[in-house]
Chains A and B, each alone.
Chain A
Amino acid sequence: MICSVTDNKLSIEKSDPGRRGLWCKNPLRAKAKLPAALLRKSPPRLPELAEFDVVRHYTRLSRLNFSVDTHFYPLGSCTMKYNPRFNEEAAALEGFAALHPLAHDTCAQGTLELLHDLSARLTELCGLDAITLQPAAGAHSEFTGLLLAKAYFEARGENRTEIVCPDSAHGTNPATASMMGFTTVNLASKPDGRLDVEELKKHIGPKTAVLMLTMPNTLGIFESNIEAIAKAVHEAGALFYMDGANLNALIGMVKPGDFGVDMMHLNFHKTFSTPHGGGGPGAGAIVCSKALAPFLPVPTVKKENGRYVSDFGDGRSIGKVKAFFGNTGVLVRAYAYMLAHSAKEFGEIAVAAILNANYVAALLKDLYPAYSKEYCMHECVLTPGADMTAKGLKTLDIAKGLLDRGFHAPTIYFPNIVHEAIMIEPTETESKETLDEFVAAMRDIHDKGIADPQALKDAPHTMPVKRLDEVQAARQPNLRW
């Protein structure tokens, strides 16, 4: 392994009193005169290191990670596609990076133009009318979307208290609903993984505010009854929210607005290739119909007499969901990605994403039965076969076996409705050769697992650490030095 096994120290353990990395020598320091009563009692316990110590420490840490750049990373529902270098270079341009969020509009014309054009292109891709780029992430977008729904119904004098979502939904859907004071109505999926339209009709009515539906759903299946679903929702006077987490399967191929979607969210760190950064930052958006537009968070950007200006709306806005404009640095990357694609090329993304997922499923389903017997969209949900289960092998063991073979594990144990789920999303940027290698690894795990189950249960063997004691971590939390 690339890392030294003897060095697993924290930065603080490498600290040496008096050692320095960077200085601040601005002579104006001498002008600082603050009353002693306001000062801190003791210095913060931070490491004292030379710059090189810091660089080597974190470079070493970086090498303990799997990442998209270094490893195939088929994490279902997370869309771990290639993050183009060009996006990074664009976002680092001083003109974008150094702009203060409260800069006068005259100083921000470039960024405002970018946001305006990005907004226009995204609403067109979604087949909807208006957009906010303020949410910081997908879950934050859901929150924004439900606030819009709340404001919309309040304006109509309607009191609707329920959010309906299928049991295959991402956990953020019910969590957001509850955070907003809504009651969640869970719908059991049909055996084929789809929403049961008859069940839906039984559960929606004058109390229903919103149906939240992920499309394709978390099983990688498209809701073929989409027209009937939209009709039922609208007949009940409710709104149809599309969770856009899986938009990579549909982009450029359909316009969600055509289905009757009233609003949807986007995850820029999924569909629009911005890096995941080890868990963030992301950026989100809510794209919506004309009816919901007046309630969008402010400011949005509009063009007036050839200038781009912040638009604070007509007073019906839900307000702010985040300080300032949104995660603009991430939006600059998404725009750079946008420039690299025509509508037709966006469609190519959907095609290749769907092709890749089906290819993997086709080559693995004899050993790892697929939950759905149909073709999948951009991801497939497999399960360990009966022969592996008989040996006591579980999805977790398969995941760890993949790490030993140089692949990041798929999403596991999700969706919750599939026992021992293995959710694979290859994304469009992976080549056939990579997929072949992944398939070979999965088949090897099966064969070796059957031959020597204990070895697989003990996996991983080649990583910087073996399986970790999560029980101790939770029972006696050690969260800091």
Chain B
Amino acid sequence: MIKGNALLFKRNISTQNAWALWLCQILTLSLLINELTGWMLAIIALCLCWRTLVFIKPTQKPHRILLLLIACSGCIAIAITGKQLGVLLSMLHLLCFAYALKSLEMNSRKDFYQIILLGIFILASVLIFSQSLLISLFVFCLLVLNLSILLAYFYPTTNIKKPLIKSTNMVLQSIPLAIVLFIFFPRLAPFWEVPSSKSAQTGLSESVTPGAIANLARSSALAFRVKFLTDIPQYNQLYWRAMVMDDFDGRTWKQSKNSHGFNRGKRNKLSGDIPKLIGDKTQYQVMLEPSYQHWLFSLAVVDKNQLVSNQVDTLTLSNYTIKSRKPISQTSSYEVTSFTDSLLNSPLSFDERRTNLHIPSDNNPRLKAEGRRLQLKYTDDIERAQAILDIIREDDYHYTLTPPLLSGNGAGHELDQFFYESKKGFCVHYASVFTFIMRASGTPARLVTGYLGGEYNKQSGHLSIYQYDAHAWSEIWVNDKGWVRVDPTAAVDPERVESGLSDTIQQEGLFNNDLLSLYRYKHLAWINSLRLQLDALDYQWTRLVLSYSSKKQYDLVTQWFGHFKSWKIGGIIGGALILMMTIMWLVNIKKLKKKSLDKWLIQYQQVLTILKNKGLEKPITMPASQFSIVVSQHFPLLNSKFSAYSQCFEALMYQELSTAHREQRLNEMNQYHQQIIKQLKKV
């Protein structure tokens, strides 16, 4: 039996199929190029190249011992670098290594099965790193390719095309049940802790140093999407808070320890004092792209009790930001309700006041002096802030994404240099200077970073916030109002705050990360509409599939079927299963029936109807041969042809003919048919 299988194997895996498998392997592994290390990619490339050699000369198969040696050394290499790579990436390396190496060792059917399943598993693990629509579609296509290679093994053709069509067909037939399962199958909580992917962090950085970067390289990558359930606020109100930076060391803004820690006493959390929520509520769902950071985005002030998420373990902080306990490593969503009219007035503790007033000594002396001057001139905090904004507005300040470097004429003078000399900068510069002056004048102030605005997509009605929407602004403490937002950028470039970066500034900030991005060609109308369409599609994917959760499942079931009961779920899934099988059954029966209704049968019926119209009807019980005699009596012209025609019909109908015979009969029948039709027309 085993021998027979081996024989079957050699016969069935045709060269074309083997090439298809090879191609499939390359495509699968290419999806992981960003995750795999260079040396692993080199080994994989070597294995796959060797495979092509085996195609050309089957004798060049590597020796078993050599293979074993390569396998062992590869495993050792992975084990050594394991610490550096982390558990998840190590496992991924091991999988990919096995997948590439396995292609050199395909001796039996078992090996073939293994390589297919391994390939599908690697495809699944690609989805750990990215779940975008594009990648998912690509993974789907590769799944179909894998399956058709498997199918080709049982298929009698050497050509991959037919199995490809067949397996696509079968996968498409499986989709309805898969969707039902996806919607209704109980969603479980994670069974155990799994290693998460640790990619390079993207998006906002955890500290801001004005003047350190001359060129703000901004990317047009998506940061997050927002779907508003209530009215969308004005563009200039969309200040997406991420981090509050209140710790200033003279050069760099950071979050102070007690504001961004997780569990440092109740004092830091809102749980102690729930802010008064007033005004209209703004409800929205945020769909985050993986940033590998903890920061979540929201509009102030968030209602802690209406913050819902299945994918993110959220935490509300006292500085009116929210964050996740774990880094965001995959597209995830959460629902927020904000009261944008509420005041950020939870009482300021002594420690907080000190932190928010702190300026290192002998730091930026000119600004310090300016602060002191304004402190004497304006006693009211708001008036003083307005005065600083007036200076920025009226003086010769420029908003640019490519400001000069601030060397600082010695340490701790960068802000002085910007404010009095270069006068060119972007949001961080203006917000830093403003916050500094306010602190120098005795008002607690801090820097807030996040995103401003977002692009509204008309087609799906959602807001997309890109990395280039990143922004920094200030907050000052006003005694009876709490923290008041002041955006100095509005003073220098109102357009940025009202509707986003202007075109000239966009051209300035080189999107050098993504040369191929459609965003670069935004000025071409059709490309822009295409871009928005793709964005809408991806948004729907994110909304419907990626952010589907047990809560949504619960809502859906209660909405459609009333109370949520487990037997209902069982019934729905069982029903869907039976329905699918019944449909397939019926389709098959219909197909078989349709197949039996052949052309010759239809032709014969056609002739009968013509004769009927001419007044000669065939009684149902009369055999065809007998009827041909009747016809010959009525139409002597048809005599010989019709009897031969009837003979053919009877042979096809009642005799079990061999294939060749049948073909011959069919041909004859067809010829007679044409002639009879012609003659009947003349009659």
The judgment on whether A and B are partners is no
B residues touching A (Cβ–Cβ < 8 Å)?
Answer: none
A residues touching B (Cβ–Cβ < 8 Å)?
Answer: none
